């Protein structure tokens, strides 16, 4: 299964609760933290909904 490495680059302070919940759903809670996640449409959608808070570092086949 393909994976992507996602890094949190923005703070959830003063952000809507929905955006904070999306970060928690991705398993991110601190600045500069990275997570390796399965490359699924749902994960891509979550990343796409908060592009100002996260970035994709690496895509592994």
Reference 37, options 58, 18, 15, 22; nearest CA is: 58
Q: What is the pTM of this model?
A: 0.92
CATH 3.40.190.10 fits 3-60, yes or no: no
pLDDT (0 to 100) of residue 41: 97
pLDDT (0 to 100) of residue 59: 96
pLDDT (0 to 100) of residue 17: 98
The whole-number mean pLDDT for each consecutive block of 10 residues of the chain, a chain of 61 residues, reads: 97 97 97 97 98 97 90
pLDDT (0 to 100) of residue 29: 95
In the chain the beta strands, taken as DSSP E runs, fall at 3-8, 34-38, 54-60
33's CB contacts (< 8 A; 6+ apart) are 7, 8
């Amino acid at each position: 299964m393909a994976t992507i490495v996602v890094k949190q680059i923005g703070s959830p302070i003063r952000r809507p609760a929905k955006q904070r919940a999306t970060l928690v759903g991705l398993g991110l809670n601190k600045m500069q933290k990275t997570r390796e996640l399965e490359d699924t449409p749902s994960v891509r959608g979550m990343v796409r909904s908060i592009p100002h808070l996260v970035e994709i570092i690496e895509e592994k086949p």
